[in-house]
A and B are shown apart, each in its own frame.
Chain A
Amino acid sequence: MKRRDFLNTIAAIFLIISVQSCKKYLDAKPDSTLQTIENLNDLRRLLDNFLLINCSYPGLGDVLADDYYFTDQDLFNSDMAQRNFHTWVREDDTEPLWRNPYEVIMTANIVLDELPGVEYQTTEQQERNDIMGSALFLRAYYFYGLAQLFANPYNNNNNKDSDLGIPLRLNSDINTKVDRASVKETYERIIADFKQAAPLLSNSPSFKSRPGKGATYGALARTYLTMGEYDSALHYSNKYLSIHDSLANYNLLSASTTPLQDRFQKEVIFVMRSATISVLGGNRPKVDSVLFRSYNDSDLRKTIHFRMSVGRPIYRGDFDGSVISSVFSFNGIYTNEIYLVRAECYARKNQMSEALSDLNTLLVSRYVSGQFNPFTAIDANDALAKVLLERKKELMRRGLRWTDIRRLNNIPPVNSIKPVRNIFTQSFTLPEKPYLLLLPVGAIQLGGLQQN
Chain B
Amino acid sequence: MNLSGGNKNVRYFFSVGYNKDQEALVGNNNNKLSLRSDNTFLPFKKMQVRIGAGYTHTKTGFNSPGRYSDFRVGNKKLPLYSRLVNDDGSPADIDYELRGAFTDTVGSGKLLDWKYRPLQELAEQDESIKTNAFIADVDLKYQFSKNFSAEVKYQYQNATDLTALNNNVNTYYARDLINDFTQIGNNAVTYIVPKNAIREESKAHLNHHALRAQLNYSHTWSGSNRLSAIAGTEVRDVSTYTTGGRVYAGVVDYSQTYPILTSSSPAKIPGYTTTSGKYVTRFVSWYGNASYDFLNRYVITASARKDASNLFGTRSNEKGVPLWSLGLAWKTSNEDFYKSGLLPYLNFRLTYGYSGNVNNSISALTTILANSPSPFTNVSNSSIYNLPNSLLRWEKIRQINAAIDFSTKKDRVKGSIEYYSKRATDVLAGKPLDPTLGTFGLITNSADVEGSGIDVQLFTRNINAGRFKWNSLVVFNQAAYKVKSFFYDADNGFTSEGIDITPIRDYNPYLLVSFRWAGLDPATGDPVGYLDKALSKDYEAIVSQTPFSDQYVSGPALPKYFGNVTNTFSWKGISVSFNVLYRFGYYFRRPTLNYSSGANLRLNPDYLKRWKRPGDEKFTNVPSSNFSVNDVYKYNFYSNSEVTVEKGGNIRLNDIRIDYTVNKIKVFRKLIPIKECEFYVFVNDINFFVWRASKAGLDPDYPLGLKPILNITTGLKINL
- With both chains docked as a complex, state the minimum distance between the C-beta of A318 and any C-beta of chain B, in angstroms: 11
With an 8 A cutoff between CB atoms, is B458 at the interface? no
Contact (A25, B374) CB under 8 Å given A103-B439, A446-B433: no
Give the contacts of B498-521 with A (CB-CB under 8 A).
Answer: none
- Taking a contact as CB atoms closer than 8 A, the residue among B280, B379, B385, B389 that contacts A29 in the complex is B280
Give the contacts of A7-24 with B (CB-CB under 8 A).
Answer: 7, 9-10, 13-14, 16-17, 22-23
With an 8 A cutoff between CB atoms, is B277 at the interface? yes
* Cβ A173 vs Cβ B388 within 8 A: yes
* Cβ A99 vs Cβ B440 within 8 A: yes
- Taking a contact as CB atoms closer than 8 A, the residue among A30, A36, A178, A209 that contacts B368 in the complex is A36
Of the 9-residue stretches B163-171, B311-319, B413-421, which lies at the interface with chain A? B311-319
- Taking a contact as CB atoms closer than 8 A, the residue among B234, B367, B380 that contacts A36 in the complex is B367
* Cβ A32 vs Cβ B310 within 8 A: no
Residue of A nearest to B360 (CB): A30
Q: Mark B415-445, 1 if CB is under 8 A from A, else 0.
A: 0000000000000000011111111101000
A405 to B507 CA separation, bound complex (whole angstroms): 51
* Cβ A174 vs Cβ B433 within 8 A: yes
With an 8 A cutoff between CB atoms, is A31 at the interface? yes
With an 8 A cutoff between CB atoms, is B281 at the interface? yes
Give the contacts of A153-204 with B (CB-CB under 8 A).
Answer: 167, 169, 172-175, 178
* Cβ A95 vs Cβ B435 within 8 A: yes
With an 8 A cutoff between CB atoms, is A230 at the interface? no
- Taking a contact as CB atoms closer than 8 A, the residue among A173, A321, A449 that contacts B266 in the complex is A321
With an 8 A cutoff between CB atoms, is A442 at the interface? yes
A178 to B630 CA separation, bound complex (whole angstroms): 37
* Cβ B436 vs Cβ A447 within 8 A: yes
Residue of B nearest to A46 (CB): B382
Of residues A1, A174, A207, A209, which shows the largest number of chain B Cβ atoms within 10 Å of its Cβ? A174
Q: How many residues of A contact B (CB 8 A)?
A: 78
| Interface size range of chain B in the complex | 35 or more
Give the contacts of A401-436 with B (CB-CB under 8 A).
Answer: none
A240 to B541 CA separation, bound complex (whole angstroms): 51
Of residues A6, A175, A326, which shows the largest number of chain B Cβ atoms within 10 Å of its Cβ? A6
Q: Which residues of B contact A252 (CB under 8 A)?
A: none
* Cβ B312 vs Cβ A30 within 8 A: yes
Q: Which residues of B contact A324 (CB under 8 A)?
A: 264
* Cβ B381 vs Cβ A45 within 8 A: yes
- With both chains docked as a complex, state the minimum distance between the C-beta of A291 and any C-beta of chain B, in angstroms: 23
Contact (A99, B390) CB under 8 Å given A26-B310, A32-B279: no
* Cβ A102 vs Cβ B312 within 8 A: no
A167 to B280 CA separation, bound complex (whole angstroms): 41
Contact (A34, B312) CB under 8 Å given A10-B213, A13-B211, A48-B379: yes
With an 8 A cutoff between CB atoms, is B384 at the interface? yes
- With both chains docked as a complex, state the minimum distance between the C-beta of B194 and any C-beta of chain A, in angstroms: 25
* Cβ A37 vs Cβ B438 within 8 A: no
A26 to B664 CA separation, bound complex (whole angstroms): 56
* Cβ A3 vs Cβ B142 within 8 A: yes
A34 to B432 CA separation, bound complex (whole angstroms): 23
With an 8 A cutoff between CB atoms, is A312 at the interface? no
Q: Which residues of A contact B233 (CB under 8 A)?
A: 13-14, 17
With an 8 A cutoff between CB atoms, is B473 at the interface? no
Give the contacts of B249-272 with A (CB-CB under 8 A).
Answer: 259, 264-266
Residue of A nearest to B388 (CB): A172
* Cβ B368 vs Cβ A10 within 8 A: no
- Taking a contact as CB atoms closer than 8 A, the residue among A49, A99, A114, A173 that contacts B382 in the complex is A49
- Of all A-B residue pairs in the complex, the 8 with the closest CB atoms, nearest first, are A447-B434, A103-B438, A50-B374, A106-B438, A99-B435, A32-B278, A102-B438, A48-B381
- 18 A–B pairs (Cβ distance < 8 Å), ordered by A: A13-B213, A17-B235, A23-B316, A26-B309, A26-B310, A32-B279, A33-B369, A34-B312, A48-B379, A50-B376, A51-B374, A80-B630, A99-B440, A102-B438, A174-B433, A320-B265, A322-B264, A446-B433
Residues of B within 8 A of A (CB): 46-47, 140, 142, 144, 150, 152, 211, 213, 215, 233-235, 259, 264-266, 277-282, 284, 286, 308-313, 316, 319, 360, 365-371, 374-377, 379-385, 387-391, 432-440, 442, 488-489, 491, 630
